[in-house]
């Protein structure tokens, strides 16, 4: 399984791009994959092809009316792992003995 964190947004649409980010998040939510929304990006969990297909759809929806798009991607693959969205955070909570904020 793969955890993929990404941020994608147009850079040619002015100071506030939330309407464009909202379009991207509709694609993420409709994908059916587990995800977590964060203030600076979104993390997806799934097979490599699944998560990359979501990013590709997000790019396509922005490219329809945006002339410049920025995208940052971080990917973590671990064979046989599932539940990484919660498992990685739970592991750190256990190691620190703290209720870490997510």
Boundaries of domain holding 88: 2-96
pLDDT tens by residue, 12-69: 999 999 999 999 999 999 999 999 999 999 999 999 999 999 999 999 999 999 999 9
Q: Is residue 54 part of a domain?
A: yes
Res 74 pLDDT > 80: yes
Question: Do 34 and 85 form a contact (C-beta atoms < 8 A)?
Answer: yes
Query: Would the pTM of this model clear 0.85, i.e. be above it?
Result: yes
How many separate domains does the chain show?
A: 1
The domain spanning residue 84 has which CATH number? Answer: 3.30.70.930
Burial annotation 89-101 (CB, 10 A radius, 16+ → b, else e): eeeeeeeeeeeee
């Amino acid at each position: 399984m793969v955890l993929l964190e990404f941020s994608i947004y147009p850079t040619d649409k002015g100071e506030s791009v939330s309407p464009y980010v909202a379009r991207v998040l509709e694609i993420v939510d409709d994908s059916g994959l587990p995800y977590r929304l964060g203030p600076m990006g979104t993390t997806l969990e799934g097979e490599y092809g699944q998560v990359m297909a979501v990013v590709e759809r997000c790019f396509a929806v922005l490219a329809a009316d945006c002339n410049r798009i920025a995208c940052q991607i971080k990917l973590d693959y671990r064979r046989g792992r599932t539940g990484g969205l919660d498992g990685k955070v739970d592991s750190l909570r256990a190691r620190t003995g703290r209720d870490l904020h997510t």
